[in-house]
């Protein structure tokens, strides 16, 4: 799915709600799909500020993030650091997150078997799932090494 397809999809999502693809919304869409990292509203606001002289207000950033999330273009994630993190969805199949408690690095992973077992767990209790969210907290490869050498030094 290329960029102009995404743009059209967003436009059509907006049109369905009698909203328009304004320049601000367009720029936000572009910026959001230009990164494959996780970002916060504030980070995005900063990027947009740098990208061109013209400013987009925080209010518009937040409002557009909500629109994008509703439309399924973005997913949000609370990594436990106060601010909500976003990542774009299209071209990214569903995945879960490993979050490093030392360096805050976020790594994505996907395990089909875990997905299935989640469905089963819900079903067997009479629930129907709409979505889920799995976060594994620990130390990444790098921080683990650092942590171990600190331990042995002390």
**Contact residues for its own copies, defined by CB under 8 A:** 78, 80, 98, 100-101, 107, 109, 111, 113-114, 117-118, 121-122, 125-141, 144
Q: Which two tokens stand for residue 138?
A: 């620990």
- Is residue 12 part of the contact set for DNA (CB under 7 A)? no
Closer by beta carbon to DNA, 83 or else 102: 83
Q: Residues 102-111: contacts with CB within 8 Å, 24+ apart?
A: 102/139, 102/140, 102/143, 102/146, 102/147, 103/140, 103/142, 103/143, 104/79, 105/140, 105/142, 105/143, 106/38, 106/79, 107/140
Closer by beta carbon to DNA, 82 or else 126: 82
- Is residue 44 part of the contact set for DNA (CB under 7 A)? no
Closer by beta carbon to its own copies, 48 or else 99: 99
């Amino acid at each position: 799915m290329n960029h102009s397809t995404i743009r059209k999809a967003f436009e059509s999502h907006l049109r369905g709600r009698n909203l328009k693809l304004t320049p601000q919304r367009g720029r936000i869409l572009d910026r959001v799909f230009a990164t494959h990292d996780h970002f916060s509203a504030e980070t995005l606001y900063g990027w947009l500020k740098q990208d061109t002289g013209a400013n987009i207000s925080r209010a518009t950033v937040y409002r557009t993030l909500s629109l994008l999330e509703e439309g399924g273009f973005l997913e949000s994630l609370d990594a436990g650091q106060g601010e909500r993190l976003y990542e774009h969805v299209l071209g990214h199949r569903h995945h879960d997150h490993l979050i490093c408690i030392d360096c805050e690095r976020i790594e994505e992973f996907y395990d089909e078997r875990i997905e299935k077992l989640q469905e089963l767990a819900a079903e067997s209790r009479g629930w129907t799932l709409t979505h889920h969210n799995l976060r594994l907290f620990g130390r990444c490869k790098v921080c683990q090494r650092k942590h171990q050498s600190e331990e042995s030094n002390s």
